Amino acid sequence: MLLKELSPKILAALNQQVEMEAASSQYYLAMASWAEVQGYNGTAQFLYRHSDEERTHMLKLLKYINERGAHGLVPALKQPEHQFKNIQAVFDLVFKHELAVSKEINNLVDLCLFEKDYATHNFMQWYVTEQIEEERMARHILDKLKLIGEDKGGLYIFDRDLATLDTADKY
């Protein structure tokens, strides 16, 4: 049985998600660069890896679109924010951003059901699961930062631990 072609609405939504994942990669890259310059090398390493992971998410979408006979578009991106108040602010933004990504993925899944595109709906389930993990990771990091508070020694250990944390472990 052949899969039906992607509808124009699904194609547009998938390409929009490609853009969101690419922008996420750039956003985390900007955060990583800031952290590195501030001396938070562990946080920088973690965010560099997270940026790479978001790029992988973008590529997975792009390839899916192409495999379905459509054309995945490489988006133009605007420069992300690149100055941050502190590590707490960085991870507050990470958490808020992941919530926004989850919302967009859920909207895309809803569209798949409305359009009766069950193949894309099935494909998107990986992203739904991934977002649960992304939100949990950001929430756990924020919980750790709340425990640390203003303790510079605790922040030093936190930063050191992030260097070895695999983003796939989701903290």
Binding-site residues, please?
A: 21, 54, 57, 98, 131
Contact 80, 20 (CB under 8 A): no
Which two structure tokens, joined as six digits, stand for 143? 């919980």
For 43, other C-beta atoms within 10 Å of its C-beta total 27
Binding-site positions for Fe cation read 21, 54, 57, 98, 131
Distances (CA, A) of 123 to 64, 74, 103, 166: 8, 20, 17, 24
Cα(30)–Cα(24) distance, integer angstroms? 10
